[in-house]
Amino acid sequence: MADFKPKIVAFLCNWCSYEGADKAGGQKLNYYAGIKIIRVMCSGRVDPYFVLKAFREGADGVMVLGCHPGDCHYRKGNISALKRMRLLEKMIVQFGVERERFMLDWISAGESEKFQKTAEKMTSRILNLGPLKLEGYVKRKAAQ
């Protein structure tokens, strides 16, 4: 466990969360470098399958970060994401993934410090939980 380097996947909305992360980098705000950022046009475009696939392919944690509700560039994309991801949070437990390994949050383009704090919070959570150990059907599917 001392050598554990968590694999965290972050799906970031192009217009807000990605810009917040970019500004965090530009301001040299430190956060865990092992977070793999995937830029999506809108958090509403993140299919729950993408989150499940990330876990199945070795992610120890997954974040979906979008525009604040009411500020979506695609009007209601983040509201769609909220509805889908709340259902997904209930489902992942059935697949052997602790609820704490998933995070949905809202970060605007100007919230670089919030991005840093959110990234650090997720990293701390995953370090405390340790590596994800998938069992049964999910593990067999991942090996195929």
Q: Which residue has the tokens 């909220």?
A: 82
Residue 44 falls inside a structural domain: yes
Q: Which whole number is the average pLDDT over 116-124?
A: 98
Least confident of 21-30, 39-48, 57-66, 130-139: 130-139
- 124: domain range? 8-143
pTM of the shown model? 0.92
Residue 1 falls inside a structural domain: no
Which pLDDT band, with edges at 50, 70 and 90, does 35 fall under? very high
Q: Report which secondary-structure segment, H or E, holds 2.
A: none
Residue 23 falls inside a structural domain: yes
Per-residue confidence (pLDDT) for residue 135, from 0 to 100 = 75
Residue 20 falls inside a structural domain: yes
Residue 50 vs residues 62, 128, 129: alpha-carbon distances, Å: 10, 24, 22
Q: Are 104 and 118 in contact (CB under 8 A)?
A: no
* Alpha carbons 54 and 56: distance in angstroms, whole number: 5
